[in-house]
Structure 1
Amino acid sequence: MSRRRKKSKEEGHINESWLLPYADLLTLLLALFIVLFAMSSVDAQKFEELSKAFNAAFTGGTGIFEFPKPMPESKMQTGDKAQPEKKDENSLDIDKSLLQQADQKELSVIQHKVNSYIKQNELSGKLDTSLTDEGLLVSIRDNVLFAPGSADVRESDLKVANEISDLLVMEPPRNIIISGHTDNVPIGNAPFDSNWELSVMRAINFMKIILKNEKLDPSMFSAKGFGEFQPVAPNNTSEGKAKNRRVEILILPRTAS
């Protein structure tokens, strides 16, 4: 009878040996989470001190973490003696001066060609040239190309316009400004409301004739109209008014900024 009771008590007892490995597993998991948390929470001050120490050792005090972006390869240098080349300001001035001198010589050659054309065609007093810092200026009296109050190049003067276009062929091409000018006499009974409009249309129509020459680049040309506002002589005489009624061709220097 006693044996049965003892046996029943042993059968009712629960084996708790499994708790030990389970507790060990929980301990390991807790330790793992603590390590992960510590790795993700780096002391910012210690990290900064560490970075400064590496920078001082490898870059002589310039922080590699302070650069916003890597240095471009084109600016990287090999060797301690490599230094960026700097051109002396005096050398730059000398180079610019030499270019301007060469440019003026080329413009002088073009001026000589135009003056030869003027002499051969007995156009002295109707065409004129002047060489300035702004470029080579060719001035054409309006009566060479236009009838009074008209902006259309006369048929009889197309030959002159075409020959002038040949003189403007240069290699490489230059920028050219064509401008129209008038005297101060108001326009009456004309298709234009003002001398300004007349001067603009004369410049444009003359430029159209010039650009029929396929050897010229239209992108190098521009047209302006100044009306009576840029006279070259007083408007109180008929001779002065005749000088003010003109079309100008300005051939610009290559060194113009």
Structure 2
Amino acid sequence: MSKKHKQHHDEHIDESWLIPYADLLTLLLALFIILFASSQVDSKKYEQIMRSLNSAFSGGVSFFEESTVVPVVTAPSSETKKKDEDAKSEQQELQGSPEQQEQIKKETAELQELKQKLDQYIADNNLSTQLETKLTNDMLMITIRDNALFASGSATVKPDAQKLAVTIGDMLTQYPQYQIEVAGYTDNIPIKNAEFETNWDLSAKRALNFMKILLQNGSIGPDRFRAIGYGEYRPIDTNDTADGRSKNRRVEVSILRTVKEPTTIGATGN
């Protein structure tokens, strides 16, 4: 009886080696995970994996708590470099050089000063329904309704409007570095009389006549000016109503920036 029991005990397989073997496999798995994580550029994911492993093995191995593995940052590809360079170039182009930025700042201050003078003149003379100023990234624009300047179908500047032109001219002498465009516009109602065959002719003549009054100030160089007529082809409102047509009939005096801003300032006048 004792002999049989002894033989049965000898035939039992010793499985104690499985414990260190399982630990070894676990450590190898963890090592491969660490190697995989360390080869990735994203360090945040690496830290997340470390925290997860620390949590999983908090009851056993403490190797991960003070790991000295440094994530390997792969060099950016040539395509990525090109994209980065293009993005930087585009940003620099939008912002301009430091010299351009300084010039833009200087011009903005000057044009804002001129705009304030014009707005004060408009307020003092109750001309808010006839004149409007607007500062953009391209220019300071003075818009004058045609009924403040001309009789219907005429390009002759009214006497009161001549005073306005002289005042604007006097202000412009203080800013000699800017080019100035005087543009005439009409509505889409056809015109045909003894003096003008088309709205082109009327708008061009109105712009030219107003510009001539500005040039009566001898301190303004004629080389700074140009006059142009757009006729009915650049409306700012509908031509289907009397009010809309009235807004479209106008003269615009634009003081042009020498350096354009990358974005619109958004300053408007009354």
What TM-score, normalized by structure 1, do the two folds share? 0.62
Specify the alignment match of 1:118 in structure 2: 122
Match of 2:134 among 130, 134, 157: 130
SS of 1:255's equivalent in the other structure is coil
CA distance in 1, matches of 2:125, 2:96: 44
Specify the alignment match of 2:110 in structure 1: 106
Q: State the Cα distance separating 1:161 from its structure 2 match.
A: 1.8
* 1:114-170 residue CA offsets vs partner (Å, 9 max, x unmatched): 101100110001000111111100000111111100011123432222122112222
SS of 2:168's equivalent in the other structure is helix
Contact persistence 1:178–1:249 (CA under 8 A):
yes
Specify the alignment match of 2:176 in structure 1: 172
Moved more, 135-144 or 163-172: 163-172
Specify the alignment match of 2:231 in structure 1: 227
Give the length in aligned residue pairs.
170
Specify the alignment match of 2:198 in structure 1: 194
CA distance in 2, matches of 1:189, 1:168: 35
- RMSD between aligned alpha carbons? 2.1
| Cα separation, partners in 2 of 1:238 and 1:97, compared to 1, 3 Å | same
Opposite residue 110 of structure 1, the aligned amino acid is L
**In the alignment, structure 1 residue 250 sits paired with structure 2 residue 248:** no
Q: Which protein has greater RCO, CA pairs closer than 8 Å, 6+ apart?
A: 2
Which structure 1 residue ranges, 5 or more long, are not aligned? 1-88
Specify the alignment match of 2:221 in structure 1: 217
Which structure 2 residue ranges, 5 or more long, are not aligned? 1-88, 262-270
CA distance in 2, matches of 1:201, 1:104: 31
* 1:60-109 residue CA offsets vs partner (Å, 9 max, x unmatched): xxxxxxxxxxxxxxxxxxxxxxxxxxxxx869623222221221121111
| Cα separation, partners in 2 of 1:159 and 1:177, compared to 1, 3 Å | same
Contact persistence 1:183–1:231 (CA under 8 A):
yes
CA distance in 2, matches of 1:125, 1:136: 18
| Cα separation, partners in 2 of 1:187 and 1:106, compared to 1, 3 Å | same
Task: Within 5 Å, give how 1:79-98 maps onto structure 2.
Answer: 93-98=97-102
Opposite residue 241 of structure 1, the aligned amino acid is R
Specify the alignment match of 1:83 in structure 2: none
CA distance in 2, matches of 1:181, 1:170: 27
CA distance in 1, matches of 2:201, 2:136: 28
| Cα separation, partners in 2 of 1:143 and 1:106, compared to 1, 3 Å | same
Contact persistence 1:173–1:217 (CA under 8 A):
no
What TM-score, normalized by structure 2, do the two folds share? 0.59
Specify the alignment match of 2:166 in structure 1: 162
SS of 2:113's equivalent in the other structure is helix
Q: State the Cα distance separating 1:173 from its structure 2 match.
A: 3.2
Q: State the Cα distance separating 1:172 from its structure 2 match.
A: 3.5
CA distance in 1, matches of 2:249, 2:96: 42
Opposite residue 232 of structure 2, the aligned amino acid is E
* 1:217-241 residue CA offsets vs partner (Å, 9 max, x unmatched): 1110000100000111111111111
Q: State the Cα distance separating 1:256 from its structure 2 match.
A: 4.9
CA distance in 2, matches of 1:123, 1:156: 12
Give the % identical residues: 42
Specify the alignment match of 1:207 in structure 2: 211
